[in-house]
Chains A and B, each alone.
Chain A
């Protein structure tokens, strides 16, 4: 589905592709930094201590989430400046791309990158023999991973919109809401392999975020109805 999003909405306009790749880059950098921190922490600690490792992992995850949001913010700043430049350049005084479109694309960029990083190795392995979880792990590993990745990609997209909207209008509560949601989703994955604990809340949150983003982007129930009934 994310690929479909990409193809239909982004691939047409070259500017969006650039924003997308830049968004992916920012996510990547945040990942890099967070893994650096984690790596240092791990190396500095005792590798044999199991609970400590688990704790460090959790810490790493949280830190990474925070870093991701920080980078989203930085990216927002960059895009703001870019919009000013674009407006100055264009002859009729309005930018060829609105901040909301940028937010959307940035969100997709983040999401795609994080999804890619989560899934690609799995996909490559899945080309191998079809033994999933014979060592006592859950047999639904691939399926749940796929769903989780998809929900995460969508979530990133929606968070992008919400985040940028919050930054635009200086509503700090929106921004904190995004951060909290992200933390919540990542935290819920700690319940894995008890999949009920992670997938269901994530999907619920995603639905909520989707509705919120839709409303923010100017949609309304009426629009939706009209669209669905093809008026």
Chain B
């Protein structure tokens, strides 16, 4: 169990770090960005979130200088078109994030509700050594707090370790670690999951078939996530591994510890991303300085890129290859960026010096994406899954938490549009989720039950 959990933890660490929304690494098209920033003064409206798609991160470092001289004139002319595009695509990005989060949650909830395995208490992670079976409330609370402290400190240590590795350019190590953990996740957890599902539905499957299925699934997954693959397949795989990870958490974390951990991790996320000395922030800034993608397979990207109507022939040639590159790049970047993922990739991937002008024109026809860390997925799903597993109000509570998380996500995207820099995705959603969970479970449920029993409708 120990080796198993170690690896899962190492997977979870990178996932946890990636819980922040981070700004883009490389300068997309700064002039465009400047123009947009100028026009984005002011109002905080409910639909500002629709503009996240085109809001840029303040890439203050090396990048800003590059194309500033280039195209100041174009700014104003294209500002309007940018606005138009943001309107068109802004809400779409929110939806592009809604859909995978919803899918992940649905998978988790469906599994929790049907497969008994994940709600049985079969021991705990070594990271939460204190048991919660104690008779007294105070003792239980103490144990859960201690568990949380241990867990959070483990996460912090791992994060700092990762940042140090990144700073000192030990890329091979990081890549190896990530590959190992995703390998383990894809194969071992899938095996267990499949086994349990088959057990629940009493379907027999012989070992060779099982081996074949899991081997194919795992191999394709590895290729998709770490290398190149169709975007949707990659997204599907990322959703699946997030769901698997969340299920593991739900199973192995004792109840109260789970809630306290959720709360603590959102606080940690807040601090790690926003404090100047926070590890995640340092990670982002280092990545921005070096102008390169960081880790493969740790973020979910909703970006789709197709370069329609190439302006210049040289970029046209680079176009198709860039598309496949980008699909991989999406997986590689663990930044939740409000920016155009694709244009970043244009900048980083194209061998020739990318002229801002050409990327400009391509930009207008491309769809932009938003990125969300996988850790966010995992913790959202943990919250909803726990609600489904342990709440006695069943579906009402689950539904309430689901809506709360989605609204938190919306608000976070809205803030992203306002602040235009890396933001932690966890705190708002998790806070809403927790508030709604506890209140729905304790307050709404008796009310609704009484109403339903008298068949009254409000």
Give the residue of B43, B404, B456 whose beta carbon is less than 8 angstroms from that of A186.
Answer: B456
Most interface-central of B80, B436, B457 (chain A CB within 10 A)? B457
Among the stretches A31-39, A209-217, A221-229, the one at the interface with B is A31-39
Q: How far is the CB of A116 from chain B (nearest CB, A)?
A: 6
Would A90 and B84 count as touching, CB distance under 8 A?
A: yes
Would A96 and B455 count as touching, CB distance under 8 A?
A: no
B308 interfacial by beta-carbon distance below 8 Å? no
Nearest B residue to A120 by beta-carbon distance?
Answer: B395
Give the residue of B45, B98, B444, B455 whose beta carbon is less than 8 angstroms from that of A32.
Answer: B444
Among the stretches A12-20, A162-170, A172-180, the one at the interface with B is A12-20
Question: Looking at chain A, what size class is its interface with the partner chain?
Answer: 35 or more
Give the residue of B46, B442, B451, B456 whose beta carbon is less than 8 angstroms from that of A78.
Answer: B46
* Complex interface: chain A residues within 8 A of B395 (CB): 120-121, 124
* Complex interface: chain B residues within 8 A of A24 (CB): 403
Would A89 and B51 count as touching, CB distance under 8 A?
A: yes
B49 interfacial by beta-carbon distance below 8 Å? yes
Would B439 and A32 count as touching, CB distance under 8 A?
A: yes
Q: How far is the CB of B109 from chain A (nearest CB, A)?
A: 12
Would B91 and A18 count as touching, CB distance under 8 A?
A: yes
Give the residue of A25, A39, A86 whose beta carbon is less than 8 angstroms from that of B407.
Answer: A25
Binary flags per residue of A66-91, CB closer than 8 Å to B gives 1, else 0:
00100000000011011011101111
| SS of B interface (majority) | helix
B446 interfacial by beta-carbon distance below 8 Å? yes
A113 to B436, CA, bound (A): 14
Would A35 and B396 count as touching, CB distance under 8 A?
A: no
Most interface-central of B393, B394, B447, B450 (chain A CB within 10 A)? B447
Would B45 and A192 count as touching, CB distance under 8 A?
A: no
Give the residue of A13, A60, A89, A185 whose beta carbon is less than 8 angstroms from that of B86.
Answer: A89
Tell me whether A14 and B91 are in contact in the complex, defined as CB-CB below 8 angstroms, given that A89-B83, A121-B395 are known contacts. Answer: yes
| Additional 13 contacts, C-beta under 8 A, given A24-B403, A113-B403 | A35-B447, A57-B450, A61-B451, A86-B47, A86-B50, A90-B83, A91-B84, A96-B87, A118-B448, A120-B395, A148-B455, A149-B457, A193-B455
B contact set with A: CB distance below 8 Å: 43, 45-51, 80-81, 83-84, 86-87, 91-92, 94-95, 98, 393-396, 399-400, 403-404, 406-407, 410, 436, 439-440, 442-444, 446-448, 450-452, 454-458
